[in-house]
Chain A
Amino acid sequence: MERALFLSFALTAIVAALNVLWRRHPLHSALALLVVLGALTGLYILLGAYFLAVVQVIIYAGAILVLFLFVIMLLNIRAEEARLERRPIFRWLAVPFALLLGAEIVYLVRVFEENPIPSGTSIGVTEAVGRELFTTYLLPFEITSIVILIAILGAVVLARRG
């Protein structure tokens, strides 16, 4: 059951990620990325990171991707007309890189095959994450608010300049 869920989420994520790559219109790519984020939410739940699963939906799917969609629709852009320029050297370079990645994944699966994720009580519940966030990591957590504030200021300043 758990493996079936994992395989369905993983396949969904990879196929949708390939769609992000293949689609020419950025709107289609953004919607495919939404599917990737949803599948990753399922994987987070399988890993027991419940808080992160909710945050993933709220922040990534709810805020960041909606921002992308707004900008794409605001700019009224067309699909990319020209495919990438065909330099044969790059196509031949792709083969060794793909082999390298494949070998790396096979090695990884071999090495960690008998290391399953420990099941049982999950550590990523909201209470535990919140406790950790507001005790051990209080200073970094406060600094993130400054980061967000600077980002807002930067976006406003850039928008006013135009």
Chain B
Amino acid sequence: MTTIPISWYLAVAAVLFTIGTVTVFVKRNAIAMLLGIELMLNAANLTAVTFSSYFRELAGQILVFFVMVVAAAEAAVGLAIIVLLFRHRETLNVDEAQLLKL
């Protein structure tokens, strides 16, 4: 049985993280930006699980568990803010939510 080098997983995680970063930068829709953040979190999770399996150490997987909990909390609060923004502004474009900018 052939085994998979650790670098392949890390390469996939790097590509996913980059795509997530580009999504956050390019998109103007607040929900799409949150989706990009989720993508980045998942890429980081994949890295943690990879090293956890490589070093045969469970701490990495525990870390991923906590990251998932924080991601759930972040999604709940972030989406509540987005709903509020939509109610006040009738838009999700982050360029138009510039109340602090004079």
User: Are B19's CB and A17's CB within 8 A?
Assistant: yes
A112 within 8 A of partner (CB): yes
User: Are B80's CB and A116's CB within 8 A?
Assistant: no
Q: Which residue from A21, A72, A105, A150 sits with its C-beta under 8 Å from B23? A: A21
Q: Convert A109-128 into 0s and 1s, putting 1 for each residue whose CB lies closer than 8 angstroms to a CB of B.
A: 11111111111001110001
Contacts of B10 in A (CB 8 A): 108, 112
When A26-B32, A63-B72 are in contact, do A132 and B62 touch as well, CB less than 8 Å? yes
A155 within 8 A of partner (CB): yes
B: number of interface residues (CB 8 Å): 68
A: number of interface residues (CB 8 Å): 78
User: Are B18's CB and A148's CB within 8 A?
Assistant: no
| For the complex of A and B, 4 pairs with smallest distance between CB atoms | A151-B73, A116-B3, A112-B7, A158-B80
12 contacts between A and B (CB under 8 A): A2-B3, A21-B36, A36-B42, A40-B46, A49-B61, A75-B83, A75-B86, A124-B58, A129-B62, A129-B65, A152-B76, A154-B77
Interface residues of A (CB under 8 A from B): 1-3, 6, 10, 13-14, 17-18, 20-21, 26, 29-30, 33, 36-37, 40, 43-44, 46-49, 51-52, 55-56, 59-60, 63-64, 67-68, 71-72, 74-75, 77, 80, 82, 84, 101, 104-105, 108-119, 122-124, 128-129, 132-133, 137, 140, 144, 147-148, 150-152, 154-155, 158-159, 161-162
